[in-house]
Homo-oligomer: A and B are copies of this chain.
Amino acid sequence: MKPVEIAILGFGTVGSGAYRILNEHAKAIARRAACPIAVKRILVRDASRERAVPTPPGVLTESFEEILADPDIRIVVEALGGEEPALGYTLAALEAGKDVVTANKLALALHGRRIFETARAAGRRIAFEGAVAGGIPVIRALREGLTANNIERITGILNGTTNFILSAMTDRGMEYQDALREAQSLGYAEADPSADVEGFDAAYKLAILASLGFEGYVDPRRIPRKGISTVTAQDIALADKFGYRIKLLAGAERADGSLHLSVTPSLVPKGHPLANVNGAYNAVTIEGDSVGQLMLYGKGAGDLPTGSAVVSDIIELVRFPDLSESEIIWQDREMELSDSTARPSEYYVRLLVKDLPGVLGQIATMLGVHGISIATVTQELDNAGRATLLIFTHECERSSVEAAAGTLRTMPFVLSIANILPLWAGTRG
């Protein structure tokens, strides 16, 4: 049987991972795809450079045009990442009549509508299991496994770098800066870590999941983000004491007719599996009105995990070459995002105050004026006449918390508002 020929754009982590899997599992993959799959070309910047993963002579090429013009190449795997030239190549490949498999969350989140419109116009398909949460088949779960549901809430631990840092802070009591430096020295964090630690990466992935789950385009630039740099070892220790872990959660929730999105460090009850997603692992919980709460957990990055997702997409495109475009469910309409940055939530509020009589009463009274009801409050004195005040609120509006924070800043005995973090609202079932 004549193999289906494909090209891979980029030979970094994802491209080489997919190539290795296609080679090492060639026989099983041919059986599962009902046809052998051959990598005809791999696009690289320098075809003469020695590679860790060897390829037969002639496979590496520096010319995208050669790939584009080759009628035998039926599928193009976009493993370049970033905005350009990845986006242009993707569109050109679709227009040239090739199906595209992509692991590029950024291009997909920012330009998903254009990519899907191009695919539709060309009668081609675009598959992107590898774009979110590495090897976890969450795209398939949303597109196929949960089609009997109205999705109500999606919550993800979608960024391995921040999860590594928070896990190191939790397990070893490290401060943020030390954990970040360790992550950088291990290659888990970039020299400029802002794409990860400020939540941009998680926001791109959340936009893709929310677009699928809520059937409308979500602009990732409109998702409110709060990174993990404000989280201290003390926050983590205090949260632990009250039964929580702090995780960077990317959340989308449909309520009151609009969509609430956010990326923010949040407190998750320790007894929930989501709280036990550590290190480089990712997880996504999905709540549907029929299925209840699901969670999918696995490795969120890396050559073989992401390669696993990319190759599963290739196999599906080869096995079912004639699926109609009805499977393209990325909708044209843009979702109405809620004006508020988040749904009403319970909050964790940590303050540093002067240890004076009456402080707690004045703060509690002020919170009540802002409509915030206190669930528990704890005071810990230090030796310098200061007290750490830890308040857990009942459910309240984010805007109320912000207004209250503004008032707190004017109170003479409040030394600092150390942190305000929401509690995860996912049902515990």
Residues of A whose CB lies within 8 Å of any CB of B are 17, 21, 25, 28-29, 32-34, 129, 134-137, 140-141, 144-150, 271-281, 283, 288-299, 302, 304-305, 307-312, 315-316, 319-320, 322-324, 326-327, 329, 429
Contact = CB atoms under 8 A, between A and B. Distances in A.
A277 B294 CA distance: 11
A221 B383 CA distance: 67
Q: Lowest 4 A-B CB distances belong to which pairs?
A: A137-B145, A148-B311, A135-B291, A273-B273
A54 B276 CA distance: 43
B295 A298 contact: yes
Given A293-B299, A299-B429, 13 more contacts: A25-B149, A28-B150, A32-B329, A34-B326, A136-B294, A140-B140, A144-B144, A147-B311, A147-B315, A147-B316, A290-B304, A292-B302, A294-B296
A399 to B, nearest CB: 32
A426 to B, nearest CB: 12
Contacts of A323: 320
A312 B271 contact: no
Given A29-B148, A145-B129, A276 B273 contact: yes
A305 B292 CA distance: 7
Contact of A319 (B25, B277, B290, B326): B326
A278 to B, nearest CB: 7
Copies of this chain, tallied across the complex: 2
A103 B146 CA distance: 16
A308 B287 CA distance: 12
From A33, A145, A146, A323, residue with most partner B Cβ within 10 Å: A145
A146 B312 contact: yes
A144 B319 CA distance: 11
Contacts of A329: 32
A297 to B, nearest CB: 4
Contacts of A32: 147, 329
Nearest to A148: B311
23 contacts: A25-B150, A29-B147, A135-B292, A137-B144, A140-B141, A140-B144, A140-B145, A141-B141, A144-B144, A144-B316, A145-B309, A148-B312, A273-B274, A273-B277, A275-B276, A291-B298, A291-B309, A292-B302, A294-B296, A294-B298, A296-B297, A297-B297, A320-B327
B308 A298 contact: no
A141 B146 CA distance: 12
A137 B148 contact: no
A278 B327 CA distance: 35
Contacts of A326: 34, 319
A293 B283 CA distance: 12
Nearest to A295: B297
B293 A298 contact: yes
A295 B300 CA distance: 12
Contacts of A290: 17, 21, 25, 135, 304-305, 307-308, 311
A281 B277 CA distance: 17
A294 B135 contact: yes
Nearest to A18: B148
Contact of A276 (B276, B304, B327): B276
Contacts of A289: 304
Nearest to A135: B291
A50 B25 CA distance: 56
A240 to B, nearest CB: 13
